[in-house]
Amino acid sequence: MSLPVVAIVGRPNVGKSTLFNRIAGERIAIVEDQPGITRDRIYSKGEWSGRSFHLIDTGGLEFGGDDEMVEYVRQQAELAIEEADVILFVVDGRTGVTATDEEVARHLRRSRKPVVLAVNKLDHQNHHKHAYEFYQLGIGEPIPVSSLHGTGTGDLLDEVVQKLPDSTVEAYDPDTIRVSIIGRPNVGKSSLVNRILGEERVIVSPVAGTTRDAVDTPFTHEGQDYVIVDTAGMRKRGKVYESTEKYSVLRALKAIERSDVVLVVLDASQGVTEQDKRVAGIAHEGGRGAIFVVNKWDAVEKDHQTMQRFVREIRDAFSFMDYAPILFISAKTGQRVSRVVPVVKEVADQHSTRISTSVLNQVLQDAALSTPPPTVKGRRPKIQYGTQVSVKPPVFVLFVSDPDAIHFSYRRYLDNQLREAFGFVGTPIRILFRKKRRD
């Protein structure tokens, strides 16, 4: 289930990025006291009253004029509005209603999306009366806030959360394996989907960026139900490409959220790039099962060590994902594509593996006897017991005498011991250390 989306919009220099940072809880967006700083939409996650949501910061909406960058920023903001479930419309309470505010309000009314009106820069209680004039925008009740100081943001988020759509459960059977295909543009993701499905179900084009939306395609293989999602390629942040691209990135992020297994498609003819690391990192941080799929293998000149060299390159570049299998395929010719779905099934099973507490603790005991935790300040931390608390990905809580004394290298050692004992092919695992409470 993907999170709902809240888009922050408004004319330039009303404090959208400051409010974004306040809600996100960190300084992500660039904040400067001049208009036009935020060019592209910036994404983060917000949470309030137990509800989580994607948060989009946008550049300022301006209407009229022929400036190319103004037009680009407007397109970006309009696409954010199209994607949003709730729109957070920010205005400047110090300057009052402007013609641009009125134009933005007309635009938002036409969108028919739920809108929350934030009257920003009202830093003191006695300034709140300035919010009343914004009733004339016809958007609804103006909520006075100061994004700089945080006052009023609680009331604002209460209203946002109230307008979020109800959580919906996907119609798929719980046993359905959900797979998303991610990667840079033009690495052959759509061609791979077509090969897996055995028919032309999605558009394939040699032009980078053809796939705009992330579309679910159910299929069945050897009695197992799957849903495969082709996503638009992700480009490096900060470069100005066509305006639809940033829109597609959010859809790819949402597809990953809904996935059990992610196919990270690499281009064999180009090797591993920094952007590939960023794309794969999204799946890893999200705790999704992952498989590296090296496409266009038919286009590579080979000798008897070519595959081994490429494996080493991948393992060096993605050292944080050494658990992920690597497949070498050609979506164009069909070479080894038949191996993809069986490996997806294996990874999905590993992603949902649950280990009994007794077996887990036997492995932990053996690991500690073989290699005890290193001493810290003359004291050796002791692992009392462990238990698995969740799956997808598997998460383990280990109760220890001193959690802070467990060195990173020993955490890595325990990770390796659990993988040696139980496999966990293709899935990240999480090991959390907690101090055992005294009875």
Residue ranges at the known binding site: 10-17, 57-61, 120-123, 183-190, 230-234, 295-298
Which of 83, 164, 160 is CA-nearest to residue 116?
160
Which residues face 398 on adjacent strands? 386, 433
> 266 Cβ partners below 8 Å, 6+ apart?
183, 187, 272, 276, 292, 293, 294, 295, 314
CA distance 348 to 424: 10
Q: Residue 6: phi, psi to the nearest 5?
A: -115, 120
> 330 Cβ partners below 8 Å, 6+ apart?
295, 296, 297, 298, 299, 336, 337
> What are the structure tokens assigned to 27, written together?
């300084």
Q: Residue 201: phi, psi to the nearest 5?
A: -95, -20
CA distance 109 to 217: 33
- Rounded to 10 degrees, the C-alpha dihedral 208/214/218/219 comes to 20
Residue ranges for the known binding site for GTP are: 10-17, 57-61, 120-123, 183-190, 230-234, 295-298
CB 29 within 8 A of CB 42: yes
Q: Residue 423: phi, psi to the nearest 5?
A: 95, -85
How many other C-beta atoms are found inside a 10 Å radius of the C-beta of residue 292? 24
CB 157 within 8 A of CB 55: no
CB 430 within 8 A of CB 398: no
> 220 Cβ partners below 8 Å, 6+ apart?
226
